[in-house]
Amino acid sequence: MLKKDLISKSPASKTIGIENVKDGRFGAVLSRAGVGKTSFLVQIALTQLLNDEKILHVSLDDPMEKINLRYKEGYTNLIDYIGYIDPQKAVRLWEDIKPNKVGISYTESTFDTQKIKDYLKSFKKADLTLPSVIIIDGLNFDEDVSKSLEELESLNREFCVFIWFSMKNHREEDLCEDGYPIQLETYKDRFDKAVFLQPVEDKIEAVILKDGDKTDQKFKLDPATMMVIEDI
């Protein structure tokens, strides 16, 4: 029951839709630095964990401890958002879902899809359930990442795993004609989903840039917790 409540209130469900989170190949969360890409990605991952699925979080920026801390914080925000919950139940649920998350921290120079492939292969070998979603946080889309994306696409095909990326754009850059930041424009054909986060007054506005029927929908998020405030 608690799981269902949490999933339904999660910003990932409210904006993208839980059934939609891993439908396709790639998804991107775009914003300028410091707006909340990682927090939003963590919320996406949490919906999967609450759905009893495994996730793999690869960070090219944060050390392992920080990744773990972000998940704990994201979970606490979600719990606080739905109001009073028996704290013991909340802790027990966290202990239940936590083992399904693996955080790997790489530096930009050592990031190698082969390592992820080796890791996913070991699941198959041991006949274990594969992660349903991989989060890749910190890949620099200002540089040419087509080779990495190609390799990751093959992972998507081989292991049926949806990959969400963080994509950093810059304040001084104009949006392209179709309203996409340049980083997404370059690789737009590879992405099935894209959420653009931008500060509007004292809130964050989440705009669905790419997601079939949902495209162009807007949501207001609390900048401290990334929880949805109300539909615009």
How many Cβ atoms sit within 10 Å of the Cβ of residue 129?
10
| Cβ distance to another protein smaller for residue 36 or 131 | 131
Alpha-carbon span 141 to 195, nearest angstrom? 15
- For residue 68, the minimal CB distance to another protein (Å) is 6
| Cβ distance to another protein smaller for residue 60 or 78 | 60
Q: Are 26 and 190 in contact (CB under 8 A)?
A: yes
Alpha-carbon span 185 to 137, nearest angstrom? 19
- For residue 33, the minimal CB distance to another protein (Å) is 22
Which structure tokens are listed for 148?
A: 């990495």
- For residue 137, the minimal CB distance to another protein (Å) is 14
| Cβ distance to another protein smaller for residue 19 or 114 | 114
Alpha-carbon span 217 to 8, nearest angstrom? 18
| Cβ distance to another protein smaller for residue 83 or 99 | 99
Q: Which residues bind another protein (CB under 8 A)?
A: 63-65, 67-68, 99, 102-107, 110, 114-119, 121-123, 125-126, 128
Three-class secondary structure of residue 96 per DSSP: helix
- For residue 122, the minimal CB distance to another protein (Å) is 2
Q: Nearest-CA neighbor of 134 among 194, 31, 44, 74? A: 44
| Cβ distance to another protein smaller for residue 64 or 224 | 64
- For residue 77, the minimal CB distance to another protein (Å) is 21
